[in-house]
Amino acid sequence: MDASDVIDSYVHDVARRLPSRRRDDVAFEMRALLGEDLRTRGAAEGREPDADLALRLVRSLGRPSERRPATTRRSSWSTRATPGASARTAPPPGRGGGFACWC
């Protein structure tokens, strides 16, 4: 699993919870923003973005199941803090259905 697989999996998990009419637009924007953030974090750490860095990024956003739609049009999503929430490492490539675990 590489960095783009991690981001794609997270975006898919978020987008599937949205109304179908908004999924494609939100997923496109999320991929772009997460990719940019990943490159910025990689540069700040002096390394190329990899799956480990991507996992840390998406884990910092929280579980998609704990995100709720925002009430304004300006922001598509807002987070709900969950004290004590942690993330587990994604399964190796080819195992666990291909999706990383954000729980």
Burial of 66 (0-12, 13-18, 19+ CB in 10 A): middle
Please write the tens of the pLDDT for every residue from 26-62: 999 999 999 999 999 999 999 999 999 999 999 999 9
Please write the tens of the pLDDT for every residue from 71-80: 334 444 444 4
- 7 half-sphere exposure, CB direction, 13 A CA radius: 21
User: What is the pTM assigned to this prediction?
Assistant: 0.66
How is the chain split into domains, by residue range? Answer: 3-98
